[in-house]
Amino acid sequence: MDIKKKFGEKIRKLRNEKWLSQEEFARKCWVHRTYMGLIERWETNITLENIEKIAKALEIEIKSIF
C-alpha cells in the first residue's frame, strides 16, 4: 500500500474519532480545507510542519499517526 494512502486513511480515521468535519479540522490545523482533502485522498505529499500541525490539532503525539 502506498504510504500516502496509509497516512491519509489514518488522518481521516483520527479526525472522525474526534467528530470533526474536514473543514473544522483544517481550521484547527491552520491549513486550507482543500489541502486537507488532498491529504486524506492521498493526492499530495505532506510536509513535516503540517504533520506537526495535524498532531497538535488531534492532541496526540506525532508518532501516534504512524
Per-residue pLDDT of 4-59, as tens digits, reads 899 999 999 999 999 999 999 999 999 989 999 999 998 888 999 999 999 999 99
When divided into structural domains, the chain yields a total of: 1
Q: What is the pLDDT of residue 65?
A: 87
Residue 11 domain boundaries = 3-57
User: What is the rounded distance in angstroms from the CA atom of residue 58 to the CA atom of residue 66?
Assistant: 13
Domain presence at residue 65: no
Domain presence at residue 27: yes
Domain presence at residue 64: no
Domain presence at residue 62: no
Domain presence at residue 63: no
pLDDT band at residue 1, thresholds of 50, 70 and 90?
low
pTM value is 0.84
Residues 6+ apart with CB under 8 A from 39: 7, 8, 11, 46, 50
